[in-house]
Chains A and B, each alone.
Chain A
Amino acid sequence: MSDERTLDLLEAKIKELRELDKTDGINLSTEIARLEKKLEALREELYANLSDWERVKIARHPKRPYSLDYIREVFTDFYELHGDRLAGDDRALLVGLARLDDRPVVLLAQQKGRSTQENKERYFGMTRPQGYRKARRAMSLAERFSFPVISLIDTPGAYPGLESEELNIGGAIAENLLAMANLRVPTIAVVIGEGGSGGALAIGVADRVLMLENAIYSVISPEGAATILWKEKERMKEATAALKLTAPRLLDLKVVDEVIPEPLGGAHKDSHKTASSLKESLLRHLAEVSDIPLKKLLAARYQRYRSLGRYSTLNDQ
Chain B
Amino acid sequence: MAIFKDRHYFRVNLEKKTDESLWMKCKSCGELVFKRRVRENNNICPHCGEYFFLTAQERIESLIDKGSFTDISKPIVASDPLLFQDTKPYPQRIEEAQEKTALASAIIIGSVTIVGIPVVMGVMDFRFIGGSMGAVMGEQICHGMEEAIRRRQPFILVSSSGGARIQEGLFSLLQMAKTAAVRGRLAEEHLPFISIMTYPTTGGVQASIASLGDIIIAEKGAMIGFAGRRVIQNTIAEELPSNYQTDAFALEHGFIDRVVNREDLREELGKVLGFFVEAQ
Q: What is A's interface to B at a CB cutoff of 8 Å? A: 158, 160-162, 164-171, 173-175, 177-178, 180-182, 197-198, 201-202, 204-205, 217-220, 224-225, 228-230, 238-239, 242-245, 250, 253, 255, 301-302, 305-306, 308-316
Does the CB pair A174–B81 fall under 8 Å? no
Which chain A residue lies CB-closest to B204?
A198
Give every chain A residue within 8 A of B160 (Cβ-Cβ).
none
Partner of B86, one of A170, A242, A250, A306: A242
Q: How far is the CA of A250 from the CA of B226 in the complex (A)?
A: 25
Taking a contact as CB atoms under 8 Å apart, the answer to whether B232 and A162 are in contact is yes
Q: Say if the beta carbon of B106 comes within 8 Å of chain A.
A: no
Contacts of A181 in B (CB 8 A): 177, 180-181, 184
**A contact face: mostly helix, strand, loop, or mixed:** helix
| CB < 8 Å neighbour of B76 from A182, A201, A314 | A314
Complex partner residue of A165 from B142, B183, B211, B226, CB under 8 angstroms? B226
Q: In the assembly, what is the distance between CA of A161 and CA of B226, in Å?
A: 10
Q: List 25 A-B contacts (CB under 8 A).
A: A160-B232, A160-B236, A162-B244, A168-B255, A169-B227, A171-B206, A177-B181, A178-B212, A181-B181, A198-B164, A218-B173, A219-B168, A219-B172, A219-B204, A228-B166, A239-B86, A250-B170, A253-B81, A308-B138, A308-B175, A309-B178, A312-B1, A314-B7, A314-B76, A316-B75
Chain A residues within 8 Å of B28, by CB = none
Q: Chain A residues with Cβ under 8 A from B253's Cβ? A: 165-168
How far does the alpha carbon of A93 sit from the alpha carbon of B169 in the complex, in Å?
24
Beyond the given A170-B202, A225-B86, please list 19 additional residue pairs across the A-B interface where CB-CB is below 8 A. Answer: A161-B227, A168-B254, A170-B225, A171-B206, A173-B207, A175-B211, A175-B212, A181-B177, A181-B184, A198-B203, A198-B204, A202-B207, A219-B170, A253-B81, A309-B174, A309-B175, A312-B79, A313-B76, A314-B10
* B145 CB, nearest partner CB in chain A, Å: 11
Looking at the assembled complex, report how far the CB atom of A138 sits from the nearest CB atom of chain B, in whole angstroms. 18
Question: A257 CA to B171 CA in the complex, in Å?
Answer: 15
Set of chain A residues within 8 Å of B240, measured between Cβ atoms: 162
Note all chain A residues with C-beta closer than 8 A to B74.
313
Residues of B within 8 A of A306 (CB): 142, 178, 181-182
Complexed CA–CA distance, A197 and B176 (Å):
10
B107 smallest CB distance to A (angstroms): 12
Q: B52-83: contact bitstring with A at CB < 8 Å (1 yes, 0 no)?
A: 00000000000000000000001111110110
Measured CB to CB, the closest approach of chain A to B248, in angstroms, equals 13
Contacts of B22 in A (CB 8 A): none
With A162-B241, A255-B171, A314-B10 as known contacts, state yes or no: A174 contacts B212, CB within 8 Å: yes
State the Cβ distance, A148 to closest chain B Cβ, in Å: 19
Query: Does A178 lie within 8 Å of B180, measured CB to CB?
Result: yes
Given known A-B contacts A165-B227, A168-B255, A310-B135, A255 and B170 have beta carbons under 8 A apart: yes
CB neighbours of A244 from chain B (8 A): 82, 169-170
Chain B residues with Cβ below 8 Å from A201 are 173-174, 176-177
Interface residues on B, range: 35 or more
Given the complex, which residues of B lie within 8 Å of A175, measured CB to CB? 211-212
Chain A residues near B231 (CB, 8 Å)? 160, 224
CB pair B211 A171 closer than 8 Å: yes
Task: Flag whether B136 is at the interface (Cβ < 8 A).
Answer: yes
Within B143-169, which residues are at the interface with A (CB < 8 Å)? Answer: 164-169
B226 x A164 contact (CB < 8 A): yes
- The yes or no answer to B85 lying at the interface (CB within 8 A) is yes
Given A174-B212, A309-B139, A311-B139, verify A255-B174 contact (CB < 8 Å).
yes
User: B244 to chain A: which residues have CB within 8 Å?
Assistant: 162, 165
Q: In the complex, what residue of chain B is closest to A256 when comparing beta carbons?
A: B170
Enumerate chain B residues within 8 angstroms of A168, measured Cβ to Cβ: 211, 253-255
Looking across the interface, which residue of chain A has its beta carbon closest to that of B7?
A314
Most chain B CB within a 10 A radius of its CB, from A162, A168, A182: A168
Complex CA–CA separation, A163 to B170 (angstroms):
27
Q: Which residues of chain B are within 8 angstroms of A230 by Cβ–Cβ distance?
A: 86-87
Contact across chains for A316 and B10 when beta carbons are under 8 A apart: yes
